[in-house]
Structure 1
């Protein structure tokens, strides 16, 4: 009985430690997203090809633009490394820039609606 209880405690402790380590790890890119701009549109990072897919989801006469961005070399501003628009047609648009996301530089997604309002931005993440 005591052996069974100790065994369960050990398993529970190991599981808790694993969850703690996983939660503390930085976000790594696999596919990231989709990042939504309300119900208007999305941007998704595609790890296979290091590109983005942008989808205009609302027939409101305005499209959306998706970005993959990073900090500039001084860390004071943003650099858009991929920009892709979608709107006015059926389906989504996928970028094809040949950009290679470098593993030690943080990147983030942004999606902007062509109407009024600010862009929506993701958390920063790194390539695997």
Structure 2
């Protein structure tokens, strides 16, 4: 499943992608990304932050952050400074490492 918008949403609150196997959370206050594997099935989950610079000569999203969780207690997290610029658009993607589809957020800006 892939979601996209022509006018990106503003990231002035938390964004969460959730499935029966876990979740990927962006906490805007502090620019923190947290991935949690909530199903002890032998496979972890992965969350990826994609960035698009509208002024780049090469169009499209590129990966700027990857956070994996699974096989240990607790969630994993990492910080990334989401640029407060109208030139940068971001998208979160989340999947279960055992196969299946990818969940994607709408495009957003800081």
Do the two structures share a fold, i.e. TM-score over 0.5? yes
In structure 1, stretches of 5+ residues that fail to align are: 1-24
Higher relative contact order (CA 8 A, sep 6+): 2
Check whether the contact 1:52–1:67 (CA below 8 A) recurs between aligned residues.
no
Larger % of helix: which?
1
- Work out the number of aligned pairs and report it: 99
Structure with bigger strand share is: 2
How far apart, CA to CA, are the structure 1 residues paired with 2:107 and 2:9?
7
Label 1:68 to 1:106 Cα distance change in 2 as closer, same or farther (>3 A): same
Moved over 4 A (4+): none
Contact 1:40/1:57, CA 8 A, preserved across alignment = yes
Query: 8 Å contact 1:112–1:118 — kept in the other structure?
Result: yes
The CA RMSD measured in Å over matched residues stands at 1.8
Using structure 1 for the length normalisation, give the TM-score: 0.68
Give the unaligned 5+ runs of structure 2: 1-6
- Kindly indicate whether the alpha-carbon contact (under 8 Å) linking 1:51 and 1:82 is maintained by their aligned counterparts in 2: no
Greater Rg over alpha carbons, structure: 1
